[in-house]
Every structure is written in C-alpha cells, then in structure tokens.
Structure 1
Amino acid sequence: MEGNNTPAAGGGKREQIIETLKTKSALLQHIFDNTQQVFGQLKEILQEYAVEVNDRLEGTTDKRVKMEYRDRGKFEAQLQMAGDILIFSMHTNVFQFERENIIWQNSYVKQDKQNAYCGVINIYNFLADSFKYNRSADEGYLVARIFINRDFQYMVEGKRQVTFRHDNFGQGAITPEALTEIIENTMAYTLDFDLLVPPYDTVKLVTVDQMNTKIENSKLQTGKRLGYQFRSDDV
C-alpha cells in the first residue's frame, strides 16, 4: 500500500524517547545501584561499630548504656545509642539539584551536568522513647544526608560535616573510611544535641484527649527542639 513507505507520525519524538531511555534512564539506574552499594557498606560499618563500642563499654558503665544496631530492611537501618536513635534511610529515587544550589559552581559539575545527579542517604535523629512508647506525634530531625553520583563521588550536608562540602565534590570517591567519619560526626552531634525543655507557652494548654492518651501510653508530643526553631545551620 502507498502508505507503507510513509514515516510513522511522531517518529522523531519516538527516537527522542528511545534515546532518553538509553542514556538518562540508564544513568539513573546506575546511580541507584551505586547508592545501594554504598548503603550496604554503611550497614556493615554500623553493625561492626556497635559491636566494638559495646565490647569497650562492657563492665564499665550501666548495662542500659549501649549501642544497638538493627537492620530495618533493604533501604533502612537503625542505630540506638542509649536514649537516641539514628535512622539511616536510602531514598529509592535519584535527584538533581535545584538551579539555585551552590553545587552548580563546582568545577566537576560544570564539566558535565550529569555529574550532579545523585542518590541520597538521609540520617534522622529520634528519641528512643518515641519508638518505645509508640509516640507517633514525636518529631525527628534530619542531621545529615549523603549524596552519591555515578562515579561514587560524594557530598555530605549536615551537622558537623565540615570536611565534605560542595567544593570537595568530585575530588574523591566515597570509601569505608569516609563513611565511618560521616557516621562518627553524626553520632557526636546527636549525643551533644540535647533534649530541651519546651517554652512554657507551647505546652501550657493540653486537650482532654491528649491527657487521656498520655495517661494510657505516654504519648504527649516530644522532640529535642519542640517549640524552638530548628535551622539547617544549628550546631
């Protein structure tokens, strides 16, 4: 038929879609695999760290003062340090930085914008009692996040992560030693990040339902900075 030799409508768009699948989608999958590999290394470090710390604490302090590691699944791990819990959570998506981010001033990123696509591992701090007493309204705080790209280059944003700023991105692949330093910086910050008495005006009113719930399950909302402003540059 005469129409058989006519190019299909939208053929150019189809080729564009195929090319995107071959390049960008493959890139994102590669970054996901890298991030998952690093997260596996992070889990191993956490587990070994808890064992070593507990060995050194044994017989020297209250038995309740210890580290407990828990694997919470493929994309999550937990480390309890006495009254604090750190949740390490790998996001299953890959991200690009917003255009206003300072990362775009980095020379490595300027060379190839695909270098700025990253997987993310978030680290949150919660009170151990929030989980123990099932206080679902309690707040946790993002204390660090690790960005990993296609070349295993990394950057860390967070508390006391002063040696992993944007200008270091592209200068070295992440290693177990670097992961250990990130973890230790996060632990140190968390242990110094005290639970503050909330301002009087933020807790002076309580509903009957809240009080009944508190009596039953100790569920009045609690957080280390409840009632205070928590800023990204707090140290």
Structure 2
Amino acid sequence: MLEENYKEILTKLERKASLKQAIYRSSSEVFGQMKTALSKIAAKLYQDYTIKDPSVEVSYKEINQFESHLKFSGDVLMISMHSNIFNFSDGHSILQSQYVKANEDLSYCSVIYVHNFLADSIKYNRLSDEGTLIARILINKEKHFIVEGEGALGFLYDDLATNIVTEEILNDILERAILICINTDLLLPTFAQVKDVTLHQKQSIVAASGYPTGKRLGYLFNSEIQNNTL
C-alpha cells in the first residue's frame, strides 16, 4: 500500500506540478509582452498628447516582476500577475467545452489582473481607497485565454478554444481598459451622506492625507466604509 501511495504521488507530481510550472512559464511570457505593450502605449500617449499639454502626466513604471503601472492624468492602470495556478469550479461552462474535454489539463490557468486606481490613492498612500477590477485574463499552457471584465471585455474574449494571445489582442485589451478608466468619472456623494463626522474620523482622514476615495464611492468617511462592508 505504501509503495502504491508513493507511485501515485510521483504520477500526480509529474502531471500537476510540471503542468503548473509550464503554465507559469507561459503566463510569465505573456505578462512580459503585456508590460512591453503598456510601456509602448505610455510612450505613444506621451508623444501624441503630453508634449502638447505637459500638465497631463503620462508615465509607465514597472513595480516588480509581477506588477506594472500606467499613470495617465488622475488614473493609474495596474496590471499584475498572480504567482499561482487555478482551475475552474465544477459546473463551470469552460469545463463543458470540447477543447477542455479533449484534454483536462487545458482548464488550468494563470491569472493576470487589470485594476484601475486613482493616482492620488497611490501618491498619498490612502490605503482605504477602493479601486476597480477592470478585467482578469485567464491563460492556459497553450497561451489560449479568456477575459472576464467590464463592458466589451466581458464578452469579446470568452472562448478559450479560439482565443490565442497575440500582441494585437493584448493592445486591444489594454486600450479598452484605459477607455473604461477614462469614461468612469469620480462621482460626488450627496451632502447628506457625508455631513456627519466625528472628530476622530476627521483627524484620521487628515492623517491619511484625504478622504477615503474610489470612483464608485465618490468619497466616504471611515465609518461609512466599514458599514458598507459588513
């Protein structure tokens, strides 16, 4: 029995561990392409717009191997790669596709996230500020992918069998994500929502360099944020 267990361990390591390493390598290559695409977009925006209006800052910054930022005016588009590999839950439509049924290993995916945060949230380290997940890109070992996201990104790239990563597609995803950021305005809450505040809340706000802010929230006091998350 012990020998059988050990053989099963070796078999599963050969399948799953090696598979996940292969997916990680594929995803790292895609993420490298995505960072390059984002830096090119930054350079082009700087050339075509910022030179005409220097008050509008456009810049690209690689934070580390797993994260990069594009800052454009008051927004930051963050792309980040998760270091782990995931599979879909039972009953997910992906598992019903002929592409995956022919090879179950193709359902295992890495994840690249595309977030939008306010530039001031990062500048002033406002840790209570909320960002928005614009999209997440799920990539398998063959560099087939799907995108789950806002707007058109929620349905344009939803077929794992036919979607294969290309430079053109990565540019399209990033440009659509940037447009979503630009088209989503920071909304001011009603006066009644924010008129009551304790001294402790106000002092905490000043210490944190401003009101906790997010595009979907406008801005809220700390107590309101806590109540909204209960």
Structure 1 residues 57-206: aligned runs within 5 Å: 57-61=49-53, 63-159=54-150, 160-161=152-153, 162-165=155-158, 168-200=159-191, 202-206=193-197
For 1:6, the equivalent position in structure 2 comes to none
SS at match of 1:71: strand
For 2:28, the equivalent position in structure 1 comes to 36
Q: Is the 8 A contact 1:57 1:66 kept in 2?
A: no
**Percent of aligned pairs with the same residue?**
37
Structure 2 length normalisation: TM-score? Answer: 0.88
For 2:8, the equivalent position in structure 1 comes to 16
Give distance in 1, aligned partners of 2:3 and 2:86: 29
The one-letter code of the counterpart of 2:75 is D
For 2:215, the equivalent position in structure 1 comes to 224
Count how many residue pairs are aligned between Structure 1 and Structure 2: 217
SS at match of 1:93: coil
The one-letter code of the counterpart of 2:112 is I
The one-letter code of the counterpart of 1:110 is K
Give distance in 2, aligned partners of 1:58 and 1:217: 30
Alpha-carbon RMSD across the aligned residues, in angstroms, is 1.8
Give distance in 2, aligned partners of 1:37 and 1:226: 36
Superimposed CA distance per residue, residues 56-76 of structure 1 (whole angstroms, 9 cap, x where no aligned partner): 114433x12132100000100
Give distance in 1, aligned partners of 2:104 and 2:213: 42
Give distance in 1, aligned partners of 2:44 and 2:133: 26
Change in CA separation of 1:194 and 1:22 when aligned onto 2, cut-off 3 Å: same
For 2:227, the equivalent position in structure 1 comes to none
Give distance in 2, aligned partners of 1:12 and 1:196: 62
CA shift at 1:216, angstroms? 4.3
CA shift at 1:133, angstroms? 1.5
Give distance in 2, aligned partners of 1:227 and 1:15: 57
Q: Is the 8 A contact 2:117 2:130 kept in 1?
A: yes
Change in CA separation of 1:205 and 1:102 when aligned onto 2, cut-off 3 Å: farther
SS at match of 2:82: strand
Structure 1 length normalisation: TM-score? Answer: 0.86
Give distance in 2, aligned partners of 1:210 and 1:128: 23
CA shift at 1:32, angstroms? 0.6
SS at match of 1:65: coil
Q: Is the 8 A contact 1:139 1:222 kept in 2?
A: yes
The one-letter code of the counterpart of 1:23 is R
SS at match of 1:54: helix
Give distance in 2, aligned partners of 1:201 and 1:108: 54
